[in-house]
Amino acid sequence: MTQARVKPELPDPWPFDQAPNCAVFTTTQIIREGQPITHVYHDLDDHGWQFHYPRAKSDSYAIIVALKEMYFHDPTVVEVADIPPGGEQFEQVLGCLGSEKKTNKIRTMPCSQPLPVRRLP
């Protein structure tokens, strides 16, 4: 029998500038395969959030989930909730549940290549 993981309670106050049910971009590798979140983008145009890992990806790996699902997947995402909107990339190996890998170094650099997103007109 597979044991279901208990979802943590949402923090109060919610630290992000978007509501817990806001749609965010991530990849199937993070949600389904357990890859660590190492790249977080806070978009300037709509204040949206994107959560990625470092390997090459294409839009076929893109999925949309609620921001709270990213928190349920890895509660340490709250550590980057204060990233200001606008084209900057912060690299950090977040807590990634079940992983001992973690660094406290956060590095800022120009936004290189977030996941290609096709916006609807």
Q: What is the pLDDT along the chain (121 residues), one digit of tens a residue?
A: 556 667 889 999 999 999 999 999 999 999 998 888 888 888 888 889 999 887 767 788 899 999 999 999 889 888 888 888 885 555 544 554 333 333 333 333 334 444 444 444 4
Q: Can you read off the two tokens belonging to residue 1?
A: 């029998």
Q: Is residue 93 part of a domain?
A: yes
| Strands, sheet with 39-42, edge to edge from the N-terminal-most edge strand | 62-66, 23-27, 49-52, 39-42, 88-91, 107-110
Residue 40, in any domain of the structure: yes
Distance between CA 6 and CA 106 in Å, rounded?
A: 29
* Model pTM score: 0.70
Query: Which structural domain range is residue 80 located in?
Result: 23-110
Asked if the structure places residue 91 within a domain, the reply is yes
Determine contact, residues 104/80, Cβ cutoff 8 Å.
no
- Give domain status of residue 3, yes or no: no
Contacts for 9 with CB less than 8 Å, ≥ 6 apart: none
Domain count, the chain: 1
Beta bridge partners of 39: 52, 91
